[in-house]
Amino acid sequence: MKNHTIALLPGDGVGPEVTNAAREVLESVADTYDHRFTFTTHPVGGAAIDAAGDPLPEATLKACRAADAVLLGAVGGPRWDTAPRRPEAGLLDLRKALGLFANVRPVYVHASLADRTPLKKEIVSGVDLVVFRELLGGSYYGEKKRDGEVASDLCVYTRPEIERITRLAFETARGRRGKVTSVDKANVMETSRLWREVVTRVHRESYPEIELEHQLVDSMAMHLIRHPRSYDVILTENMFGDILSDEASVLAGSLGLSPSASIGDGRPGLFEPVHGSAPDLASKDTANPIGAILSAAMLLRFGLGLEAEADAVENAVAGAIDQGSLTRDLGGDLGCRAMGEVIASGVVAPRGFAAHRLQMQWG
């Protein structure tokens, strides 16, 4: 029996709904494998502004630091657009406080959904890639200024910041198909020139057996849609990674399918679906919980070291999709709650390998 504490941060919009579905799946895992998961729930984002006047209350941060892993729903919404501090500031503060420098976003096109994406089936069939987004540098954390009609956001990167996520990306490529695509804007930006220099050096000195290619971010946005099967591990900086991974998530058929993990040098990690709070869908039971549930699978594997349990969740998701259990964004008729229940009921001790194990590694 394993005992673990998991901090739940439901957040805003559809966040509480998808988080509840993921929690139900985790509870099914605990029952199946005789574990004990202790869940603690805390406000973040807009909900925390309403409750405590701060998007990341000190009590929430303390609970996250004390937990073995953190599962987050989503933050943000137009009702807080004029707040002194926006909900998203709480998420940025949390990543920084926990030292989570790498955001890992896998994109996998399930065979049963290849004809339900916005692109032709022959383009997306077989897509299996993972985006490594540097999470603590760049313009999101740089000095910000506003003087009348002039505004600026400083983009700063250091060699150590670039090197540590670069090594994670190459280590992961070793266990996958052996290719890294580094994305920058080195024809214009000095930070990108440093980025390309560091990536090239790390590759030459430590990972010469891995195929490395460099892509400019604007052309990458096009090639990612035209030739998505060409990519294995995509490595890039904070803002570029935010944009490209959202674009890539649509390859799978819906933004609601995509999970992510934010990791640092130790525990706890932060696990959350890629999608936003979708306030227009809140409380309608129409959100797709699969992104949150697969984030829970990443929590099990990379946050708690529970490989078989993560396999069981991924198998349950694949089984639900194969049997035609789909939410409305994928052409089905299930609500968020019902979809979560179907997946939770499918959690069993796996026989053999998972239907699709997320091939990533770091350490």
- Residue 259 pLDDT exceeds 80: yes
Mean pLDDT (whole number) for 27-37: 96
Q: What is the pLDDT of residue 106?
A: 95
- Residue 362 pLDDT exceeds 50: no
Q: What is the pLDDT of residue 117?
A: 87
pLDDT in tens, 105-122: 999 999 999 988 888 999
- Would residue 185 show up in a list of annotated catalytic residues for this protein? yes
Distance of CA 212 to the CA centre of its chain: 23
The H or E element containing residue 5 is strand 3-11
Which residue among 31, 115, 218, 322 is the active-site one?
A: 218
pTM of the entire predicted model: 0.92
Structure confidence at residue 1 as a pLDDT band (50, 70, 90): low
Which residue among 50, 128, 246, 285 is the active-site one?
A: 246
Q: Which residue has the higher pLDDT, 349 or 239?
A: 239
98-to-128, 141, 158, 296, 300 alpha-carbon distances in Å: 29, 15, 19, 18, 18
Q: What is the pLDDT of residue 294?
A: 98
Mean pLDDT (whole number) for 237-245: 95
Which residue among 232, 242, 311, 329 is the active-site one?
A: 242
* Angle at the Cα of 60 from the Cα atoms of 54 and 61, rounded to 5 degrees: 95
Which residue among 185, 232, 311, 329 is the active-site one?
A: 185
pLDDT in tens, 295-347: 999 999 999 999 999 999 999 999 999 999 999 999 999 999 999 999 999 99
Q: What is the CA radius of gyration of the chain?
A: 20
The dihedrals phi and psi of 250, each to the nearest 5 degrees, come to: -70, -20
**Helix 15-33 and helix 307-322: axis angle, to 10°?**
120
pLDDT in tens, 126-142: 999 999 999 999 999 99
- Would residue 218 show up in a list of annotated catalytic residues for this protein? yes
Which residue among 140, 157, 207, 231 is the active-site one?
A: 140
Percent of the chain whose pLDDT exceeds 90 = 90
Q: Indicate the burial class of 221 (C-beta count within 10 angstroms; 0-12, 13-18, 19 or more).
A: middle
Mean pLDDT (whole number) for 184-208: 98
- Would residue 12 show up in a list of annotated catalytic residues for this protein? no
Q: What is the pLDDT of residue 343?
A: 97
Q: What is the pLDDT of residue 52?
A: 95
List CB contacts of 37: < 8 A, sequence separation 6 or more: 3, 4, 5, 6, 26, 27, 29, 30
Q: Which residue has the higher pLDDT, 280 or 363?
A: 280
Question: Distance (Å, rounded) from C-alpha 251 to C-alpha 310?
Answer: 23
Mean pLDDT (whole number) for 245-258: 90
Q: What is the pLDDT of residue 25?
A: 98
The dihedrals phi and psi of 262, each to the nearest 5 degrees, come to: -110, 120
Structure confidence at residue 361 as a pLDDT band (50, 70, 90): low
